[in-house]
Structure formats: C-alpha cells, structure tokens
C-alpha cells in the first residue's frame, strides 16, 4: 500500500497493531463462501428459534398476591396463639414449682406433722369420751373456731359440727354395730 505521508504510514501501522484482523470483502471470500452460507443459515435458525412470551410478575408471599391469604393468616394466628399458650403454661408451671418449694421447707414439714399429731390426739380424746370406759353422754369441743357438739345414746352417737363460717354437718354413728 502506498502512503501519502509518513504520518499516514505510522497511523496505519498503529491501527494494524491495535486491530490485527481487518475484514474486507476479499478476506471474507478467501474464508470461504460455504462457511459464510453455513454461518448465515445457523444464524437464521437461532433467530427463528428465539421467541418471546409475555413477561409476568407475581409475588410469592400470600400477603402480597392474595392467593392462599386466609390459610397464611390462620397459620400465623395459630403460631401466635400456641406461643402465647406455651409462655402462660411455663409461667404457671414456674409458680407452682415455687409454691411447692415454699411448702416443702423443713419448717412447713414440721408444722404439718405437728398439726397432724395434734388432730390425732384430739380425735383420740374425743373417741375416749364417746366410746371409752368413762364415756360421756354429751359435750362440746371447740377447735379453731369450729364447734363440735356430741350426744351419745345406747344405739347411736350424734356429732354436730358447726364450722367457723356457719356451715353445719351432722354425723350419726351406730354404736351397736361396732365390736371392739
């Protein structure tokens, strides 16, 4: 190629270095006519196969798209209810455990045992008064605000228990059926 100036020659050399392959009609024809046709046919095949459909967008969350929203809300409500119920049962369980621990102290055990023995002794004394060798026919005992009146006949012993709040209980015990 003939250059008009050295400047043009230097510019073409730089261009050739930057772009080593320059396609011209002669290079395309040198490459081969059939290669060009084959490439053209393959290109047309891909172009015809590339079709587009309608672009649609939908949210996956039922809170946004509305599909299955009621079951979504029910599931959340069920989880919330279950969690609140678990928290309440845990609090109640902890309170019951604290109450049990407070009741099972050594002092409380001693007081319950002592109270049981006192009531046992009172019961023993009452049965001695009713059924013992020197049985009394009637009497009154007051225990912690509760009044016990008793009357004894040859056939029955009648206990009238009047509680502190005024409730009344009557016990009739047949004496003839006991065998000591």
Q: What is the pLDDT of residue 89?
A: 96
Residue 174 CB neighbour total at 10 angstroms? 9
- Please answer whether residues 108 and 102 qualify as being in contact, where contact means their C-beta atoms are separated by less than 8 angstroms: yes
- Please answer whether residues 121 and 129 qualify as being in contact, where contact means their C-beta atoms are separated by less than 8 angstroms: no
pLDDT one-digit tens code per residue, 120-154: 988 888 778 777 777 778 888 888 788 888 888 77
Give dist(CA 42, CA 37) in Å, integer. 9
Tokens for 2, please give them. Answer: 């003939």
What pTM was computed for the model?
Answer: 0.39
- Please answer whether residues 179 and 157 qualify as being in contact, where contact means their C-beta atoms are separated by less than 8 angstroms: no
Tokens for 135, please give them. Answer: 């049985």
Q: Which helix (H) or strand (E) is 155 found in, with range?
A: none
Q: What is the pLDDT of residue 97?
A: 94
* Alpha helices, DSSP H, located in 21-176: 25-31, 33-49, 62-65, 69-103, 106-131
* 3-state SS assignment for residue 161: strand
Cα-based torsion angle of the residue sequence 50, 56, 57, 62 in order, rounded to the nearest 10 degrees:
-130
Tokens for 101, please give them. Answer: 């621990």
Q: What is the pLDDT of residue 153?
A: 79
DSSP designation for 5:
S
Q: What phi and psi values does residue 61 have, to the nearest 5 degrees? A: -75, 130
Tokens for 62, please give them. Answer: 């039922």
- Mean pLDDT per block of 10 residues along the chain (180 residues) reads 82 80 62 74 70 76 75 89 96 94 87 89 81 79 84 83 88 70
């Amino acid at each position: 190629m003939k250059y008009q100036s050295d400047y043009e020659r230097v510019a073409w050399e730089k261009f050739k270095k930057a772009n080593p392959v320059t396609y011209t009609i002669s290079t395309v024809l040198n490459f081969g006519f059939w290669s060009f046709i084959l490439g053209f046919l393959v290109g047309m095949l891909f172009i015809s196969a590339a079709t587009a459909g309608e672009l649609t967008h939908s949210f996956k969350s039922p809170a946004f798209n509305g599909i299955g929203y009621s079951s979504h809300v029910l599931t959340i409500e069920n989880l919330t209810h279950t969690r609140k119920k678990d928290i309440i049962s845990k609090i109640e369980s902890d309170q019951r455990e604290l109450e049990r621990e407070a009741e099972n102290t050594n002092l409380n055990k001693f007081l319950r045992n002592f109270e049981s023995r006192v009531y046992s002794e009172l019961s023993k004394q009452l049965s001695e008064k009713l059924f013992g060798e020197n049985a009394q026919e009637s009497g009154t005992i007051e225990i912690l605000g509760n009044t016990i009146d008793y009357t004894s006949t040859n056939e029955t012993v009648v206990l009238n228990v009047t509680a502190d709040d005024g409730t009344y209980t009557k016990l009739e015990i047949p004496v003839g059926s006991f065998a000591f």
